[in-house]
């Protein structure tokens, strides 16, 4: 004789499934979208102009407000296609922007190496420096051959390798700390 499951068990099972699916749903988008990226020629060299779209999830916001700085690294690779061998990697460069929070002053700080340091009153203002960074020189003017066409690849990611060592282990095992874009590829003809 088959035993029929009681009515409350079905509801309990449905609630359990709903709670499990909500637990694993991301609070925000877990990726970085590259809105635009292109190279510009200037007197100093070739500059990368790019803008990104992303939001920090709750785990990253909490870590930041508790004093853990976040590092966003933009990488660029410029290669020259060759028909007779592997593509020649002409330029490989990166730039890291550090975002931190000072609990005493209740201000956010953004810095790019030793060149630029700024204070912000809100997290969104500090992240605007990451989302729309200054155009930075990725190659000297004589690094690329005029008239040659190059393939440019750009990506941005939350760089967990620069976190304090105890947090690196946690970051590698937590999906909250995986924030990156895909490689954006485009062609560029040097002038």
Sign of CA dihedral 116, 157, 53, 44: positive
For 14: left if phi > 0, alpha if psi spans -120 to 50, otherwise beta; the answer is alpha
Whether 16 maps to a domain, the answer reads no
Tell me the pLDDT band of 166, cut-offs 50, 70 and 90.
confident
Whether 24 maps to a domain, the answer reads no
Per-residue confidence (pLDDT) for residue 2, from 0 to 100: 53
Whether 141 maps to a domain, the answer reads yes
Per-residue confidence (pLDDT) for residue 101, from 0 to 100: 95
More confident residue, 75 or 31: 75
Whether 22 maps to a domain, the answer reads no
Whether 69 maps to a domain, the answer reads yes
CB 85 within 8 Å of CB 173? no
Structurally, the chain folds into a number of domains equal to: 1
CB 148 within 8 Å of CB 189? yes
Considering the entire predicted model, what is its pTM?
0.78
Whether 172 maps to a domain, the answer reads yes
Burial of 104 (0-12, 13-18, 19+ CB in 10 A): exposed
Whether 181 maps to a domain, the answer reads yes
Tell me the pLDDT band of 12, cut-offs 50, 70 and 90.
very low
Whether 103 maps to a domain, the answer reads yes
Range of the domain at 164: 29-189
What is the per-residue pLDDT across 71-91, written as a single tens digit (0 to 9) for each?
A: 999 999 999 988 788 888 889
List alpha helices for the chain, DSSP H.
7-23, 58-65, 123-131, 165-173
């Amino acid at each position: 004789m088959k035993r029929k499951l009681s009515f409350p068990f079905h509801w309990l099972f449905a609630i359990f499934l709903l709670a499990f699916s909500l637990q694993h749903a991301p609070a925000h988008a877990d990726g970085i979208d590259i809105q635009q990226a292109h190279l510009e020629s200037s007197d100093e060299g070739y500059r990368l102009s790019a803008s990104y779209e992303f939001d920090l999830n709750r785990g990253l916001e909490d870590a930041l407000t508790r004093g853990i700085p976040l590092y966003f690294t933009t990488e660029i690779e410029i290669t020259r296609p060759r028909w007779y061998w592997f593509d020649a990697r002409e330029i490989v460069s990166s730039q890291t922007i550090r975002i931190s929070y000072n609990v005493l002053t209740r201000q956010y700080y953004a810095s790019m190496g030793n060149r630029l340091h700024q204070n912000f009153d809100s997290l969104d203002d500090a992240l605007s420096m990451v989302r729309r960074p200054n155009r930075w020189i990725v190659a000297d003017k004589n690094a690329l051959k005029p008239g040659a066409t190059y393939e440019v690849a750009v990506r941005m990611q939350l760089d967990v390798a620069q976190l304090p060592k105890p947090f690196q282990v946690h970051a590698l095992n937590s999906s909250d700390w995986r924030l990156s874009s895909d490689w954006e590829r485009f062609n560029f003809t040097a002038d």
